[in-house]
Protein backbone atom coordinates (compact mmCIF):
# COMPACT_ATOMS: atom_id res chain seq x y z
CA UNK A 1 0.00 0.00 0.00
CA UNK A 2 2.79 2.42 0.90
CA UNK A 3 4.49 1.93 -2.46
CA UNK A 4 1.14 2.47 -4.21
CA UNK A 5 0.78 5.84 -2.43
CA UNK A 6 4.41 6.76 -3.12
CA UNK A 7 4.09 6.21 -6.88
CA UNK A 8 0.62 7.80 -7.11
CA UNK A 9 1.55 11.01 -5.31
CA UNK A 10 4.76 11.47 -7.32
CA UNK A 11 2.92 11.00 -10.63
CA UNK A 12 0.20 13.47 -9.60
CA UNK A 13 2.87 16.03 -8.71
CA UNK A 14 4.59 15.52 -12.05
CA UNK A 15 1.27 16.21 -13.78
CA UNK A 16 1.22 19.62 -12.10
CA UNK A 17 -1.11 18.97 -9.17
CA UNK A 18 -0.35 20.34 -5.73
CA UNK A 19 -0.01 17.27 -3.51
CA UNK A 20 0.06 17.16 0.27
CA UNK A 21 0.72 13.89 2.09
CA UNK A 22 -0.42 13.42 5.67
CA UNK A 23 1.08 10.38 7.37
CA UNK A 24 2.42 9.03 10.65
CA UNK A 25 6.05 9.09 9.51
CA UNK A 26 7.85 9.38 6.17
CA UNK A 27 10.40 6.58 5.97
CA UNK A 28 12.21 7.89 2.88
CA UNK A 29 13.63 11.18 1.70
CA UNK A 30 10.73 13.53 1.13
CA UNK A 31 10.13 13.91 -2.61
CA UNK A 32 10.60 17.31 -4.18
CA UNK A 33 7.41 19.22 -4.94
CA UNK A 34 5.27 17.36 -2.39
CA UNK A 35 4.35 18.69 1.06
CA UNK A 36 4.71 15.93 3.64
CA UNK A 37 3.25 16.36 7.13
CA UNK A 38 4.18 13.76 9.73
CA UNK A 39 1.69 13.41 12.59
CA UNK A 40 3.77 11.05 14.72
CA UNK A 41 3.75 7.29 15.06
CA UNK A 42 0.99 5.57 17.01
CA UNK A 43 1.20 2.30 18.93
CA UNK A 44 0.12 -0.30 16.33
CA UNK A 45 -1.92 -2.46 18.73
CA UNK A 46 -4.78 -2.83 19.01
CA UNK A 47 -5.09 -2.17 15.31
CA UNK A 48 -8.60 -0.71 15.45
CA UNK A 49 -7.55 1.79 18.10
CA UNK A 50 -4.50 2.83 16.08
CA UNK A 51 -6.74 3.43 13.05
CA UNK A 52 -9.18 5.46 15.12
CA UNK A 53 -6.42 7.58 16.68
CA UNK A 54 -4.76 8.27 13.34
CA UNK A 55 -8.10 9.30 11.84
CA UNK A 56 -8.64 11.80 14.64
CA UNK A 57 -5.16 13.25 14.17
CA UNK A 58 -5.86 13.72 10.47
CA UNK A 59 -9.13 15.50 11.23
CA UNK A 60 -7.40 17.87 13.66
CA UNK A 61 -4.69 18.55 11.08
CA UNK A 62 -7.23 19.40 8.38
CA UNK A 63 -9.13 21.70 10.73
CA UNK A 64 -5.90 23.54 11.46
CA UNK A 65 -4.89 23.73 7.78
CA UNK A 66 -7.66 25.03 5.46
CA UNK A 67 -7.95 22.92 2.31
CA UNK A 68 -10.79 24.48 0.29
CA UNK A 69 -10.92 23.05 -3.20
CA UNK A 70 -8.76 20.06 -2.33
CA UNK A 71 -9.64 16.44 -2.97
CA UNK A 72 -8.92 14.20 0.01
CA UNK A 73 -7.81 10.81 -1.25
CA UNK A 74 -7.43 8.33 1.57
CA UNK A 75 -5.84 4.91 1.84
CA UNK A 76 -6.86 4.53 5.48
CA UNK A 77 -9.99 4.16 7.61
CA UNK A 78 -11.00 7.84 7.61
CA UNK A 79 -14.38 9.55 7.59
CA UNK A 80 -13.51 12.82 5.87
CA UNK A 81 -12.31 11.73 2.45
CA UNK A 82 -13.74 12.20 -1.04
CA UNK A 83 -12.05 9.11 -2.51
CA UNK A 84 -10.80 5.97 -0.80
CA UNK A 85 -8.60 3.30 -2.32
CA UNK A 86 -9.29 -0.16 -0.92
CA UNK A 87 -6.17 -2.29 -0.85
CA UNK A 88 -7.31 -5.66 0.45
CA UNK A 89 -10.28 -7.94 1.08
CA UNK A 90 -12.92 -6.34 3.33
CA UNK A 91 -12.97 -7.26 7.01
CA UNK A 92 -16.63 -8.22 6.50
CA UNK A 93 -15.42 -11.61 5.28
CA UNK A 94 -15.50 -12.42 9.02
CA UNK A 95 -19.16 -13.28 8.43
CA UNK A 96 -18.03 -16.40 6.56
CA UNK A 97 -16.61 -17.73 9.83
CA UNK A 98 -18.54 -19.25 12.76
CA UNK A 99 -20.80 -16.76 14.54
CA UNK A 100 -18.85 -16.88 17.79
CA UNK A 101 -15.88 -15.32 15.95
CA UNK A 102 -17.96 -12.16 15.51
CA UNK A 103 -18.45 -11.53 19.24
CA UNK A 104 -15.61 -9.25 20.22
CA UNK A 105 -14.87 -5.55 20.55
CA UNK A 106 -12.12 -5.91 17.93
CA UNK A 107 -14.53 -7.27 15.32
CA UNK A 108 -17.19 -4.67 16.10
CA UNK A 109 -14.71 -1.80 15.80
CA UNK A 110 -13.10 -3.10 12.62
CA UNK A 111 -16.53 -3.44 10.98
CA UNK A 112 -17.50 0.06 12.16
CA UNK A 113 -14.31 1.59 10.73
CA UNK A 114 -14.70 -0.28 7.45
CA UNK A 115 -18.34 0.77 6.95
CA UNK A 116 -17.42 4.36 7.79
CA UNK A 117 -14.54 4.38 5.32
CA UNK A 118 -16.74 3.05 2.51
CA UNK A 119 -19.84 5.11 3.30
CA UNK A 120 -18.23 8.56 3.49
CA UNK A 121 -16.50 9.12 0.10
CA UNK A 122 -18.00 9.80 -3.29
CA UNK A 123 -15.86 7.10 -4.90
CA UNK A 124 -14.39 3.79 -3.75
CA UNK A 125 -11.42 2.57 -5.79
CA UNK A 126 -10.64 -1.15 -5.46
CA UNK A 127 -7.16 -2.18 -6.52
CA UNK A 128 -8.28 -5.45 -8.12
CA UNK A 129 -11.37 -6.99 -9.67
CA UNK A 130 -11.41 -9.57 -6.87
CA UNK A 131 -11.58 -6.87 -4.18
CA UNK A 132 -14.28 -5.02 -6.11
CA UNK A 133 -16.38 -8.20 -6.21
CA UNK A 134 -15.97 -8.76 -2.46
CA UNK A 135 -16.90 -5.18 -1.53
CA UNK A 136 -19.96 -5.31 -3.78
CA UNK A 137 -20.99 -8.60 -2.16
CA UNK A 138 -20.71 -7.45 1.45
CA UNK A 139 -21.81 -3.83 0.87
CA UNK A 140 -24.34 -3.97 -2.00
CA UNK A 141 -25.84 -0.59 -1.05
CA UNK A 142 -22.51 1.07 -1.92
CA UNK A 143 -22.21 -0.44 -5.40
CA UNK A 144 -22.90 2.92 -7.08
CA UNK A 145 -19.73 4.36 -5.53
CA UNK A 146 -17.42 1.69 -6.93
CA UNK A 147 -15.07 2.60 -9.76
CA UNK A 148 -13.29 0.25 -12.07
CA UNK A 149 -10.25 -1.26 -10.35
CA UNK A 150 -6.99 0.63 -10.49
CA UNK A 151 -4.18 -1.82 -9.94
CA UNK A 152 -1.17 -0.74 -7.87
CA UNK A 153 0.74 1.85 -9.89
CA UNK A 154 4.18 0.52 -9.11
CA UNK A 155 7.17 0.13 -11.35
CA UNK A 156 7.42 -3.31 -12.91
CA UNK A 157 10.34 -5.41 -11.75
CA UNK A 158 12.15 -8.04 -13.71
CA UNK A 159 9.75 -10.24 -15.68
CA UNK A 160 10.14 -13.85 -14.61
CA UNK A 161 10.14 -16.44 -17.35
CA UNK A 162 7.25 -18.89 -17.51
CA UNK A 163 7.94 -22.21 -15.85
CA UNK A 164 6.25 -25.55 -15.35
CA UNK A 165 5.13 -26.40 -11.82
CA UNK A 166 6.53 -29.76 -10.65
CA UNK A 167 3.67 -32.28 -10.82
CA UNK A 168 4.47 -33.71 -7.35
CA UNK A 169 5.87 -30.65 -5.62
CA UNK A 170 6.47 -26.95 -5.90
CA UNK A 171 6.48 -24.15 -3.31
CA UNK A 172 3.64 -21.99 -1.98
CA UNK A 173 4.80 -18.77 -0.31
CA UNK A 174 2.97 -16.82 2.38
CA UNK A 175 4.31 -13.37 3.34
CA UNK A 176 2.75 -11.40 6.16
CA UNK A 177 3.48 -10.45 9.74
CA UNK A 178 -0.24 -10.21 10.53
CA UNK A 179 -0.71 -13.88 9.72
CA UNK A 180 -4.16 -14.31 11.28
CA UNK A 181 -5.72 -11.34 9.49
CA UNK A 182 -4.11 -12.38 6.21
CA UNK A 183 -5.43 -15.93 6.39
CA UNK A 184 -2.50 -18.23 7.14
CA UNK A 185 -4.75 -20.95 8.66
CA UNK A 186 -6.72 -21.01 5.39
CA UNK A 187 -3.49 -21.30 3.39
CA UNK A 188 -2.40 -24.25 5.52
CA UNK A 189 -5.67 -26.03 4.76
CA UNK A 190 -5.29 -25.23 1.07
CA UNK A 191 -1.77 -26.64 0.91
CA UNK A 192 -2.86 -29.75 2.81
CA UNK A 193 -5.56 -30.33 0.18
CA UNK A 194 -3.09 -29.77 -2.68
CA UNK A 195 -0.71 -32.31 -1.15
CA UNK A 196 -3.19 -35.06 -1.94
CA UNK A 197 -2.11 -34.72 -5.57
CA UNK A 198 1.29 -33.11 -5.01
CA UNK A 199 2.78 -34.83 -1.92
CA UNK A 200 6.12 -32.99 -2.12
CA UNK A 201 4.56 -29.52 -2.12
CA UNK A 202 6.18 -27.12 0.37
CA UNK A 203 4.77 -24.14 2.24
CA UNK A 204 7.20 -21.33 3.08
CA UNK A 205 6.02 -18.70 5.58
CA UNK A 206 7.89 -15.38 5.84
CA UNK A 207 7.21 -12.61 8.33
CA UNK A 208 5.61 -13.78 11.57
CA UNK A 209 7.39 -15.22 14.57
CA UNK A 210 7.55 -19.05 14.40
Question: Mind giving me the DSSP string for 105-167?
Answer: HHHHHHHHHHHHHHHSSSEEEESSHHHHHHHHHH-GGGGGGB-----------PPPPP-PPPT
- Give the angle subtended at the CA of 144 by the CAs of 16 and 5, to the nearest 5°: 35
Residue-level pLDDT at 151: 82
Confidence at residue 26, expressed as pLDDT on a 0 to 100 scale: 92
Distance of CA 27 to the CA centre of its chain: 18
Given this model, what pLDDT does residue 155 score? Answer: 65
Q: Is the peptide bond before 82 cis (omega within 30 degrees of 0)?
A: no
For residues 179-199, average pLDDT: 91
Beta bridge partners of 66: none
Question: Model confidence over 76-109: pLDDT tens digits?
Answer: 999 999 999 999 899 999 998 888 888 999 999 9
What is the model's pLDDT at position 152? 74
34-87 per-position pLDDT tens digit: 999 999 999 988 999 999 999 999 999 999 998 888 999 999 999 999 999 999
- Pairwise CA distance, residues 193 & 181, whole Å: 21
- pTM comes to 0.75
- Using the predicted structure, report yes or no on whether residue 193 has a pLDDT greater than 90: yes
**32 alpha-carbon distance from chain centroid:** 26
The answer, yes or no, to whether residue 190 has pLDDT greater than 70, is yes
pLDDT 10s digits, 125-170: 999 999 999 999 999 999 899 999 988 766 666 677 888 888 999 9
Write down the pLDDT at residue 176: 86
pLDDT of residue 208: 86
Show Cβ contacts of residue 117 under 8 Å, excluding neighbours closer than 6 positions.
74, 76, 77, 78, 79, 81, 84
Pick 177 or 14 by higher pLDDT: 14
Q: How many CB atoms lie within 10 A of CB 156?
A: 5
The H-or-E segment that residue 14 falls in is helix 2-14
Amino acid sequence: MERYVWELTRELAQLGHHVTVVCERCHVEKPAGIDVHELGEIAPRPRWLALLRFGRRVERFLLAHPHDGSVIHSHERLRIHHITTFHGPPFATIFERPWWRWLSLRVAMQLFLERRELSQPQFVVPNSQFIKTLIAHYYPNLAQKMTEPIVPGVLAGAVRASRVVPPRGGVVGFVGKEWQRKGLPWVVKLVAALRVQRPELQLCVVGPEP
